[in-house]
Amino acid sequence: DHLRKLKMMKYFLLPSQLAFLCNFVLSKPVQVCPCSETALHVHFLHLAESEIAVHEGDILLRRGQRSAINCESCLWPKSQDGLVKVPVNISSDFSLTERSWIADALQEVSTLTCVKFVNRTTETDYVYVEHGCWSYFGKIGGRQAVGLMKNGCMDKGAIQHEMNHALGFIHEQARSDRDKFVKIVWEHIMAGNFGKVKSKNLGLPYDYSSVMHYGAYDFSSAPGKPTIVPIPNPSVPIGQREGLSNLDVAKINKLYKCNCCSSVLPKPKGSFSSVNYPSPYPNNSNCLWLIRIRQSKIFLQFETFDLQTSSDCSSDYIKVYNGNSKNSPVLLDKYCGKGPLPSVVASGSTMLVEFATDETVTATGFRASYSQRFKIQVPAPKDFERF
Ligand SMILES: *[C@@H]1O[C@H](CO)[C@@H](O)[C@H](O)[C@H]1NC(C)=O
Ligand SMILES: *[C@@H]1O[C@H](CO)[C@@H](O)[C@H](O)[C@H]1NC(C)=O
Ligand SMILES: *[C@@H]1O[C@H](CO)[C@@H](O)[C@H](O)[C@H]1NC(C)=O
Ligand SMILES: [Zn+2]
């Protein structure tokens, strides 16, 4: 296993990474994004030199920054419309299928946050997706590579993981407060680095289910020997790469000061309801729920339903999409008034529910439940190593 791991590592070390490692070995690490105390940074490194380490295995730390940069430049800028556009160009080396996986993973971020990944046209600062499994940390200016590859680094959550680095996030288990939540088993660690950093945690909790969290056996020296053990309950799952957690979404929205009402429902079944239910829902709200069940179709049912009635449901409405975007095909078009509503089934493993209200009359809202129906056999990219 050790040998296999080393082989994997070699496999993953592309020339640019080797250069990066050499830079680290041969020269002093340099400061990365010396962010100001005033800005919100979840996981922004703003470290003394000695605290920077190669440990963030898949993060390329930039060296040779000339002078202190304003932290705002580590974040992607927000345009007038409140959206944070991140231009992306995917190398022509990727197949159509791989492109569709990448597009799907990025779409989830675009749907749930104010960060919108857009096709690059002529923008100067942009992400260039090439083969590998790494990312720079935050926006570095100009063209910045993000490495992704099939059979190792292309699960939905793995794609989001690398992109999250480019948005400015470090690994969850590197958070300043991690020792309260996990124990690092140093004697089992073969490679990588499990240091912690003086992160700003945005007032949001530690998240075992983050796509930014390493798995229990990542970089282990032998099978069955965990490198990270959650405390106090060692059986809490860590290292999922199925997709953004609710807190991942909340952290992106907080770091980028987005005003988004969105949640992820990642369990095989559950329920959700309008804000304040059964008290009246708020005026002027727009909320999204992304239901995501791995390799299964989704069955959605409204248990109660009471929305303001209007012609064409132009005031308050529910709308359900067959996919993870408002551009996905519509399963249930704008619906309002009192129920009952027809049940809906998504043809794939994601479904998006939108609930919009206008500025006047409100009502009690709705409560809905969902479950999985019909397993679908989709070959999913898996068996990845996390770098
Ligand atoms: C995207 O990258 C390809 C190389 O993979 C390049 O040929 C193309 O010009 C780039 N497009 C943009 C808009 O940057
Ligand atoms: C981005 O480009 C791809 C083709 O490379 C296309 O399929 C997709 O629709 C484009 N997306 C947008 C938002 O224009
Ligand atoms: C919504 O707005 C109306 C009129 O502007 C107001 O009477 C009502 O109390 C508001 N409802 C809520 C839940 O805030
Ligand atoms: Zn990483």
Tens digit of pLDDT for each residue in 52-68? 333 344 555 543 332 23
Distances, alpha carbon 341 to alpha carbons 18, 262, 270, 303, in Å: 57, 22, 18, 9
Residue 2: pLDDT above 50? no
> Hey, whose CA ends up nearest to atom 11 of ligand 1?
89
Q: How far is the CA of 93 from the centre of ligand 1 (A)?
A: 11
Distance 118 CA to ligand 2 centre (A): 8
213 is in an annotated binding site: no
Q: What is the pTM of this model?
A: 0.82
**72 counts as catalytic:** no
pLDDT at 49 over 90: no
What is the residue with the minimal CA distance to atom 13 of ligand 1? 121
131 alpha carbon, closest ligand: 1
- CATH number of the domain at 53-167, please? 3.40.390.10
Ligand nearest, relative to CA of residue 121: 1
Which ligand sits closest to the CA of 361? 3
Q: Binning pLDDT at 50, 70 and 90, where does residue 158 land?
A: very high
Look-up: residue for tokens 């993060």?
A: 59
Out of 162, 172, 242, 385, the active site residue is 162
Q: Which of 186-215 are b and which e, b meaning 16 or more Cβ less than 10 Å from the residue's Cβ?
A: eebbbbbebbbbebbebeeebbbbbbbbbb
| Angle, CA 171 vertex, CA 168 and CA 173 arms, to 5° | 145
Map tokens 């957690």 to a residue: 245
Residue owning tokens 């992160």? 199
Minimum mean pLDDT among 73-77, 205-209, 345-349: which range? 73-77
Over 50: is that where the pLDDT of 29 sits? Answer: no
List pLDDT tens digits, range 311-360.
Answer: 999 999 999 999 999 999 999 999 999 988 889 999 989 999 999 999 99
Quick one: what percent of the chain has pLDDT higher than 70? Answer: 78
Q: Which atom of ligand 3 is nearest to the CA of 276?
A: 13
Mean pLDDT of 78-105: 97
Q: Among residues of the chain, what percentage have pLDDT more than 90?
A: 69
pLDDT at 364: 96
Regarding the beta carbon of 360 and ligand 3, being less than 6 Å apart is answered: yes
Delimit the domains of the chain by residue range: 53-167, 260-373
Which helix (H) or strand (E) element contains residue 25?
helix 15-26
Given a cut of 50, whether residue 30 has pLDDT beyond it is no
Confidence of residue 151 (pLDDT cuts 50, 70, 90): confident
| Domain covering 260-373 in this structure, CATH number | 2.60.120.290
Percent of the chain as helix, strand, coil, to the nearest 5: 20, 25, 55
Q: Which atom of ligand 3 is nearest to the CA of 281?
A: 13
Digit-coded pLDDT (tens) for 232-290: 999 999 999 999 999 999 999 999 999 999 999 999 999 999 999 999 999 999 999 99
171 is in an annotated binding site: yes
Which 8-state DSSP code applies to residue 49? G
pLDDT over threshold 90, residue 155: yes
Angle at 325 between CA 111 and CA 310, to 5 degrees: 100
pLDDT for 153 beyond 60: yes
Distance between CA atoms of residues 279 and 16, nearest Å: 56
pLDDT at res. 72: 60
